Structure 1
Amino acid sequence: MTRRERLTRKILGAATLCAAALPLSILIFMVVLARPLFSSFSVTDLLTGTWEPLQGRYGILPMMTASLLLALASLAVAFPVSLGCAGLIFGLAPPVVTVPLRRLVQLMTGFPTVVYGFVGVFVLVPAVRDLFQAGSGRCLLSALVPLSLMITPTMTLFFSDAFAAVPRPILLAATASGADPVQRFVWVVIPSARRGLAAGMVLSFGRAVGDTLIALMLAGNAARMPSGFLESSRTLTAHVALVIAADFQSLEFASIFVCGMVLYVLTSCAALCAWRMRAAAERYSG
């Protein structure tokens, strides 16, 4: 091994070590800054209590519930749309439709989140307020629609890649059996790509639960347990954005690091699950 190769290996090894140590350092940083809360309250109290700082309660359960409810509902709305778009891109539509559709989906993945938020503020919020006659219109429903639209392109591209990874002999066997394109897609392609589909859903869930601006601009930011989609609620990310300007010595400020730790765990688990599912799908297709 030459001197240049040894140097390159050392540089790459150091970069890998730094990349692995950085997420752990971030977690330790959040634990240290959340220590004032951990010294005054138990983890159970923080994760299952309500947010009433004037009464000395700093539980983040309402924000956790709103985040999970909004992310799961957005995933449920975006899934059939993404599956249909991915099916058209895979070959259910003629090439004159497939190519522009894929380009449009790729373009939508680059739209800033604030664009969806502004459209929601000026279009969805008045529509929800006038249609349901409930509150100001800033509620989970107003945030649900743009959040679903935001994760749809990402999920569509993941689904398209999963469909493209289906072994060609399986498709040829289905065609030889007399299956038309729709039957082949429903009964062969989707079951064969289930691991890739699951990975795309998990990663899209991580993106939905980690979004800040849409929830901050549209969900209403009321720190209470959501009782329905027409209720104003505050997500974990919106809570961080709202409280970060508070007194650095207050317990309210320490609560944002508890929220950060919960988000860290959720997104890390989502990424790990997606990685394992995608690896299993690649082994299956190989």
Structure 2
Amino acid sequence: MAPTTYAGPSAGLPGQMALHTGRAVFTEAYALIPRGVMRDIVTSYLPHWTQTRAWVIARPMTGFAETFSQYVVEVFPGGGSERPEPEAGVEGVLFVVEGQASLTIGGKSHLLKAGGYAYLPPSSQWTLDNRGSVATRFHWLRKRYDKVDGIDAPEAFVANEQDEPIIWMPDTNSTWGTTRFVDPTDVRHDMHVNIVTLEPGAVIPFEETHVMEHGLYVLEGKAVYRLNRDWVEVEAGDFMWLRAFCPQACYAGPQRFRYLLYKDVNRHMKLTL
């Protein structure tokens, strides 16, 4: 696979003469958080993390998207955490976009570079630190694991997207595809965090309308994306947050367009509390 770059938040602050004509919007069906509003002023500092800040770009919200949270985490040299996950029963995915992270899972060490991916099972013991000389940035997606009687939770694993194939959609001439880190038929997993690739000019040719919630963080390129009733321009560093059944489609721009995609899968809809 060809080398890629990964977008991150703009950080800093815009100048005082900047115009208030951005693309940020929150609707009943979707939110768009453009990269230009992910600034220093909206970061949070997390308990039991040192030399670290985070942009919280999704959180469970009643009546909107309710299954997951997503952070862009920045760990400065020497920083990290020995107690990263505060809740029992929560699973996670890490995806590194800049720098490198030293990750330990159950006593085993792994070095995650840009493109590095880790699945962290519920209640797993893990730590992370930055032993390098530059800041590390990664996405951290968290979800309460939906246990099923008679089915074990998945094991931890690490990978790098550069080593994984793109599975192209049928009849698209290898222009629209997905890098999958988990077998879609493996029902131990109740969420997928994949990377979607559209080559220049490729399209998602119908309005996907489905039960899965989505977080879509644009890693590379630009496109025009259909979100509910609107066609919206998006670019590298933007985040799209979709509730269930929000219609979506896409026309990719003049360069390869790629995004990190979250969706909840493989579970019955709960009808009782």
Structure-1-length-normalised TM-score: 0.23
Higher helix proportion (structure 1 or 2): 1
Higher strand proportion (structure 1 or 2): 2
Q: Bigger relative contact order, structure 1 or 2, given CA contacts below 8 A and separation 6+? A: 1
